[in-house]
A and B are shown apart, each in its own frame.
Chain A
Amino acid sequence: AQSVTQLGSHVSVSEGALVLLRCNYSSSVPPYLFWYVQYPNQGLQLLLKYTSAATLVKGINGFEAEFKKSETSFHLTKPSAHMSDAAEYFCAVSDQYNNNDMRFGAGTRLTVKP
């Protein structure tokens, strides 16, 4: 069974600073990895996904993530935070064969200070 661990339930950065949200995964089979963003009282929106092609994945809103098998990590980064990035971010893992087994991390709430 797969699982993900998001390090840090809350992350606070200043506007214009680097955003780094950490995600480590556990999977006995090759994983697919996802980052979703959730704004208050809304559903989840896909930021980006890793599906065994390029290890550096670029997503929407200037976010990117790098799959590092040796570190079992899939950290989310953005060079310069914007106020509109304040939201809850979820990392998720599924295996390449059974999408119904997608598992979410506990989430990281990002706060952006002016």
Chain B
Amino acid sequence: DAMVIQNPRYQVTQFGKPVTLSCSQTLNHNVMYWYQQKSSQAPKLLFHYYDKDFNNEADTPDNFQSRRPNTSFCFLDIRSPGLGDAAMYLCATSRDRGGSYNEQFFGPGTRLTVL
């Protein structure tokens, strides 16, 4: 089945220690998104890639970076995690932006704990 895969499902890191979260997709979608979701809150968009074009949300901290080496993979790098970065991180994809191809497909998420 075509799907969005996130690894690992649970990640524990130490305060200030860089961490990378991984997302892959078999849907061959053009757009990949990263969301941060804190407990009992709505997902908050951090940034997205449209093909190789990176689009950062205005209020995304510089501590968060992303890489998309190819169509299938996208990474979220947190350079110096703070306690406030503990959250569920969701990856999503969509075939395109706008029009009738804008449905987003979500991965299962990675829950990040910062000690």
Cβ–Cβ < 8 Å partners of A41 in chain B? 88, 109, 111
B66 smallest CB distance to A (angstroms): 14
> B90 near A96 (CB under 8 angstroms)?
no
Number of B interface residues in the complex (CB < 8 A): 31
Q: Mark B59-95, 1 if CB is under 8 A from A, else 0.
A: 0000000000000000000000000000010101010
Among B48, B92, B102, the residue within 8 A (CB) of A94 is B102
> B90 near A105 (CB under 8 angstroms)?
no
> B100 near A51 (CB under 8 angstroms)?
yes
Number of A interface residues in the complex (CB < 8 A): 25
Q: Mark B34-69, 1 if CB is under 8 A from A, else 0.
A: 000000111101001010000100000000000000
A11 smallest CB distance to B (angstroms): 14
> A100 near B97 (CB under 8 angstroms)?
yes
Q: Assess whether A67 is interfacial by the CB under 8 Å rule.
A: no
Q: Which of A96, A104, A106 has the most CB of B within 10 A?
A: A104
Cβ–Cβ < 8 Å partners of A97 in chain B? 97-99
> B98 near A98 (CB under 8 angstroms)?
yes
> B111 near A43 (CB under 8 angstroms)?
no
Q: A90-B42, A99-B31 are in contact. Are A43 and B106 (CB under 8 A)?
A: yes
Cβ–Cβ < 8 Å partners of B98 in chain A? 95-99
Q: How far apart are the CA atoms of A108 and B98 in the complex, in Å?
A: 26
Residue of B nearest to A90 (CB): B42
Q: A99-B97, A100-B45, A104-B42 are in contact. List 17 more A-B contacts (CB 8 A).
A: A32-B102, A42-B108, A42-B109, A43-B90, A44-B92, A94-B102, A97-B98, A97-B99, A98-B97, A99-B104, A100-B31, A100-B50, A100-B55, A100-B97, A102-B45, A102-B104, A107-B41
Interface residues of B (CB under 8 A from A): 4, 6, 31, 33, 40-43, 45, 48, 50, 55, 88, 90, 92, 94, 96-109, 111
